[in-house]
Structure 1
Amino acid sequence: MPLKPAIDPEQWILDSPNDLISLTKWQRTVNLLAKLFDAPAGFLVQHTSSGYQVAIASEQQTNPYNAGMVVEPEANIFCRKIVETRQSLYVANATIDPCWDSNPEVHKDGFRSYLGVPVFWPNGKAFGTFCVLDYRETNYDDTYFELIEQLRDILEADLSLLELYLQMQKLAVTDPLTELNNRRGFSSLAQQRILLAKRMGSRLGVFYLDIDKFKQINDTHGHAVGDNVLIDMAKAMRHCVRSSDVIGRMGGDEFVALVLIEQDSDFEAIATRFTEQFAQYSESDLPLYTVTIGYADVDLTMEVENILALADQDMYQHKTP
């Protein structure tokens, strides 16, 4: 099962800086664009469902827009046209084209000329635009189009590098079949959750879950069906826990959950919720399966592996031969 993109295309780049993207380099690229075009303004604009944000603005007194400025998604701006069509756009003189009469860049800020190219995330989704604007009518030839596309490629290369790096990070801590945390990912998050519980004075419980007779499911129905059972169980587990809880697949048919506990009765209540959810959530075309559950009260001074061992031991005490 392919992993989802590591980058959230709905998150502003300016709100989630990453060491792999040099905003300083991007700034130099946008400044160079404006300089080579002898234009008063150049931009890298990001698009999300929230609108269009100026991620980078050329550093000139003639530029009326600063980085961080957001334009509403329905505004009749040049960048919107590019994002919707996924095509480059050149407008030599917007004042003679009625379709731009409601464009605030034209009737409010006085821009006449626009040249922009689309910028894409590695997965093909539109990131936004790389563009240059001028208060004068322009007459750009093919050389200018080649130039802006070459500079755009520099920005897209950075986005590809970031996606690749984050994807590799995700692969290191994520089980590719179920998309739950793998052992490494669970241990890392569990350590953080335990530290938080210490500071907050809260109580945690750990649950160890094992699918009964899973080898028999694989032998009888095939490994593809067995994989679907594992995916089904992961989906059910997600429905049983809070967003602050930590769940993971340890390998094979073994799963774990680190959850907030408020009183002793919560252990049985949560175990029952897991059992009922598996029965309810299981897909109709999958073989019926049951799960053995063990749990332990978390000693916040213990290492994660030792905590898991206690819950594992409790699970095997309940396991039917």
Structure 2
Amino acid sequence: MEPLDRAFLANVLDLMLDAVCVVDTEGRFVFVSAAGERIFGYPPEEMIGRPVIGFVHPDDRERTLVAVAEIVAYQHKPIFENRYVRKDGRVVHIMWSARWSPLDGVRVAVARDVTARKRAEAMQAALYAISEAAHAAEDLLALFAQIHRIIDGLLPAKNFFVALYDAAGDWLSFPYFVDQDRAPLEPGTLDAETLCTELIRGGKERLVSHDAVDPAQPVRTPVDWLGVPLGVAHGVIGALLVKSHSPEVRYGQADVELLKFVSAQIADAIERKQGQLRLQHVAQHDALTDLPNRNLVRDRVAMALARARRDGTGLALMYLDLDDFKPVNDRFGHAVGDGLLQQVAQRLKHCVRASDTVGRMAGDEFVVLLAQLHAPEDAALVAEKIRAALCEPFDVAGNAVLVSPSIGLVGYPKDGEEADPLIDRADEAMYRAKRAGGNRVCVAGDTDEARA
């Protein structure tokens, strides 16, 4: 049998679906078979003579150099995977089998494109991670942050935001917005000219080329936009968008299909988390005033006490009751009484900081928790502010209603170090104020019957 000539061998190599590459001692390509163009996007003549490491994804270059050193040292490395950047900017995953030939001073390697397999594995892992995030995240913001990390593992998503749509109010909000080039978008009604509106109303994914700019959302530099609607059984609840500010990061049809594939799972996760939070809110809040109920108040007090012990700060707790609330119900009816309680809740919230807690314990009894107090006398000032605010007339359904509060005031650490005893002492101080005639603040431990 005659020996095979080089032309024949070259033709055979060019017929292979995997690319055969030969690299010299300086790390430059000296031969690339025809399959290299399909895998890397470059014709072989554009690769020959150029350093291999220049084609490798920047994040994989260091470990690739380590692998090269091992190949030279041990002569054979059956399996090694890394990422290359194609001529068109897309990233491909390559599985290599390589060997070093000391006699010829070259590395011979076979490259197989495993991008499809890696993408399928990543998508399955992403679906599992999204499902886990829906259960583990404390709130929607934490869920969105988790989703951002998951998406960023699938495609370039440095700039990522979530839009949520309330169909009943025709209202679009942006609860999660990360963009290196602009401030978060303001919520508002759907605008027919924006990309978000097109996604939500049209219900179809969109890929906007980097040389086109959304006229309703101008930016200083060309960008790529990729957006998909978040659809559930009853309609579209929002949209996911990723954006690139760099011409080096481009989105293609594969990225569209990937984001579209995971969007259904993300939409379900968001809706499931919203449902969980609604149920949790109902279980922990008063139905009439939407204030924290007795159970949530006790939890908040316990948490505030733990924080105060840790930080060496104080806190104050007020238990208050409306004087002569029953005559309001008797004279005007329960609907006016309910309206009065709702307005009382709002006034109480306006008297304290956003970080403080106002809760409804039962009937016309409320609790105010002032956390992280640095000056104990501040609590008495807030208590007097509340007393004065509740003595102002209320207008409930056209009826002028006058009430006043009886307030019991306690503090940590002077009056107790556990939640339930502290609440009970505040309740006792409130009854002392009521017995003294109402419309006053009674401080636990005072020798006087009450402070008017």
**1:207 pairs with 318, 341, 344, which one?**
318
Query: Which residue in 2 is equivalent to 1:224?
Result: 335
SS at structure 1 position matched to 2:316: strand
SS at structure 1 position matched to 2:269: helix
**2:308 pairs with 179, 183, 197, which one?**
197
Distance 2:174 2:386 in 1: 37
1:138-217 maps to which residues of 2 (within 5 A)? 152-217=263-328
Contact 2:284 2:296 in 1 (8 A): yes
Distance 2:142 2:393 in 1: 35
Alpha-carbon RMSD: 4.6
CA deviation after TM superposition for structure 1 residue 204, in Å: 2.5
SS at structure 1 position matched to 2:195: helix
- Summarize the Cα distance change of 1:295–1:87 in structure 2 as closer, same or farther, 3 Å threshold: same
Cα distance per residue 1:199-236 (max 9 Å; x no partner): 33323322111012222222222222111111111111
Equivalent residue letter for 1:84 = T
CA deviation after TM superposition for structure 1 residue 191, in Å: 1.0
Distance 2:194 2:376 in 1: 59
Task: Name which structure has the greater RCO, CA cutoff 8 Å, separation 6+.
Answer: 1
1:130-141 maps to which residues of 2 (within 5 A)? 133-134=251-252
Quick one: percent identity of the two aligned structures?
25
**2:386 pairs with 267, 274, 279, which one?**
274
Distance 1:92 1:307 in 2: 59
Query: Which residue in 1 is equivalent to 2:240?
Result: 128
CA deviation after TM superposition for structure 1 residue 71, in Å: 5.0
Distance 1:123 1:270 in 2: 47
Contact 2:305 2:418 in 1 (8 A): no
Contact 2:161 2:174 in 1 (8 A): no
Distance 1:248 1:92 in 2: 48
- Summarize the Cα distance change of 1:296–1:123 in structure 2 as closer, same or farther, 3 Å threshold: farther
Q: Which moved more, 1:233-242 or 1:282-291?
A: 282-291
- Summarize the Cα distance change of 1:128–1:281 in structure 2 as closer, same or farther, 3 Å threshold: farther
Cα distance per residue 1:161-197 (max 9 Å; x no partner): 0111122222222223222211111111111111222
Query: Which residue in 1 is equivalent to 2:131?
Result: none
Contact 1:245 1:259 in 2 (8 A): yes
Query: Which residue in 2 is equivalent to 1:307?
Result: 422
CA deviation after TM superposition for structure 1 residue 126, in Å: 3.2
Indicate yes or no: 2:434 matched with 1:296.
Answer: no
Q: Look at both structures and tell me which one has the larger radius of gyration over its CA atoms.
A: 2
CA deviation after TM superposition for structure 1 residue 277, in Å: 1.4
SS at structure 2 position matched to 1:250: strand
Contact 2:230 2:263 in 1 (8 A): yes
CA deviation after TM superposition for structure 1 residue 81, in Å: 3.2
Distance 2:266 2:176 in 1: 17
**Unaligned segments of structure 2, at least 5 residues:** 1-137, 164-171, 186-192, 244-249, 439-452
- Summarize the Cα distance change of 1:99–1:216 in structure 2 as closer, same or farther, 3 Å threshold: same
Distance 2:406 2:376 in 1: 20
Distance 2:410 2:353 in 1: 18
Distance 2:358 2:176 in 1: 36
Query: Which residue in 2 is equivalent to 1:37?
Result: none
- Summarize the Cα distance change of 1:176–1:22 in structure 2 as closer, same or farther, 3 Å threshold: farther
SS at structure 2 position matched to 1:176: coil
Query: Which residue in 1 is equivalent to 2:347?
Result: 236
Distance 1:104 1:150 in 2: 28
Contact 2:194 2:214 in 1 (8 A): no
CA deviation after TM superposition for structure 1 residue 245, in Å: 2.7
Cα distance per residue 1:74-117 (max 9 Å; x no partner): 8xxxxx8331343346779969x977699999x856x6xx8743
CA deviation after TM superposition for structure 1 residue 263, in Å: 5.6
Number of residue equivalences: 267
Contact 2:194 2:217 in 1 (8 A): no
Contact 2:162 2:174 in 1 (8 A): no
Indicate yes or no: 2:438 matched with 1:318.
Answer: no
Contact 1:117 1:130 in 2 (8 A): no
Query: Which residue in 2 is equivalent to 1:77?
Result: none
Contact 2:318 2:426 in 1 (8 A): yes
TM-score by length of 1: 0.63
**Unaligned segments of structure 1, at least 5 residues:** 1-5, 32-39, 54-67, 75-79
TM-score by length of 2: 0.47
CA deviation after TM superposition for structure 1 residue 308, in Å: 1.4
**1:87 pairs with 175, 189, 201, which one?**
201
- Summarize the Cα distance change of 1:177–1:123 in structure 2 as closer, same or farther, 3 Å threshold: farther
